[in-house]
């Protein structure tokens, strides 16, 4: 940590500590495995077949990552009851926590909470799925919001996918001017670049092993 970073921002500024979730606090992506857990292997693979063509179009850069994700959400979440997803998310959290979460990441979150910082997850994964994880960590949550009408998911997003510049915009919408905080941030992918750039204290792949960090950066 550069000592100059800690001097940035107002002298009495509140610390805002922001953690990406997938790949940062976890060993791997959580949302697609959640879909397999919630729907069961048979239904999951059947629906994933519908995404074969969009997946190929993404690989050849005919559609964006956000467009592919929108199709994934539409394929799995259209007409699903919100309460059912919440129940499955709670069960998924309980079952996968020991294997999914990085111990060093959990310790870092606990340290930030103990320090008195405002601590939040900021993730592209649906907030509806991550809420049990945020509750267990005892921190706030900003995530991609799924549209709900009369208790049923429509398969659409409310607002934008919470990645890249939208992470910063969502943080500003919740916490106001980020310049009023001493911003600390942890992330692991291109989708965290703008968040890390906005932070005085930025950590990229901080919880990955040194060997893995070297391989990913090579």
The whole-angstrom separation of Cα 181 and Cα 192 is 18
Is the pLDDT higher at 210 or at 188? 188
The whole-angstrom separation of Cα 119 and Cα 215 is 30
Q: What is the mean pLDDT of residues 137-146?
A: 98
Looking at residue 218, its pLDDT comes to 44
> pLDDT of 86-111, one tens digit each?
999 999 999 999 999 999 999 999 99
Closest by CA position to 115, among listed 182, 186, 187: 182
Whether pLDDT at 214 is above 60: no
Q: Looking at residue 179, what DSSP letter applies?
A: G
The whole-angstrom separation of Cα 164 and Cα 161 is 9
Number of domains in the chain: 1
Note whether 109 and 21 are within 8 A (CB).
Answer: no
The whole-angstrom separation of Cα 202 and Cα 218 is 20
Domain that holds residue 115: 3-217
Looking at residue 12, its pLDDT comes to 76
CATH number of the domain residue 45 falls in: 3.40.50.1000
For residue 90, what are the contacts with CB-CB under 8 A and spacing of at least 6?
132
Confidence tier at 13 by pLDDT (50, 70, 90): confident
Instruction: Give the chain's largest Cα–Cα span.
Output: 56
Looking at residue 11, its pLDDT comes to 62
Percent of the chain with pLDDT over 70: 91
């Amino acid at each position: 940590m550069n000592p100059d970073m800690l001097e940035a921002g107002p002298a009495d500024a509140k610390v805002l500590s922001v953690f990406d979730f997938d790949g940062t606090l976890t060993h791997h992506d959580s949302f697609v495995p959640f879909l397999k857990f919630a729907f069961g292997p048979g239904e999951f693979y059947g629906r994933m077949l519908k995404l074969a063509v969009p997946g190929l179009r993404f690989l050849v850069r005919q559609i964006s990552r956000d467009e592919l994700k929108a199709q994934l959400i539409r394929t799995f979440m259209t007409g699903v009851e919100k309460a059912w997803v919440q129940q499955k998310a709670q069960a998924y959290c309980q079952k996968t926590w020991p294997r999914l979460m990085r111990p060093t990441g959990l310790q870092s979150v606990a340290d930030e909470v103990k320090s008195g910082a405002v601590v939040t997850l900021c993730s592209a994964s649906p907030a509806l799925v991550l809420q049990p994880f945020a509750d267990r960590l005892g921190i706030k949550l900003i995530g991609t919001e799924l549209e709900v009408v009369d208790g049923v998911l429509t398969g659409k997003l409310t607002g934008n996918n919470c990645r890249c510049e939208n992470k910063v915009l969502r943080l500003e919408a919740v916490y106001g001017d980020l310049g009023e905080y001493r911003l600390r941030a942890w992330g692991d992918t291109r989708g965290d670049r703008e968040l890390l750039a906005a932070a005085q204290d930025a950590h990229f792949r901080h919880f990955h092993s040194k060997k893995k960090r070297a391989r990913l950066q090579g």
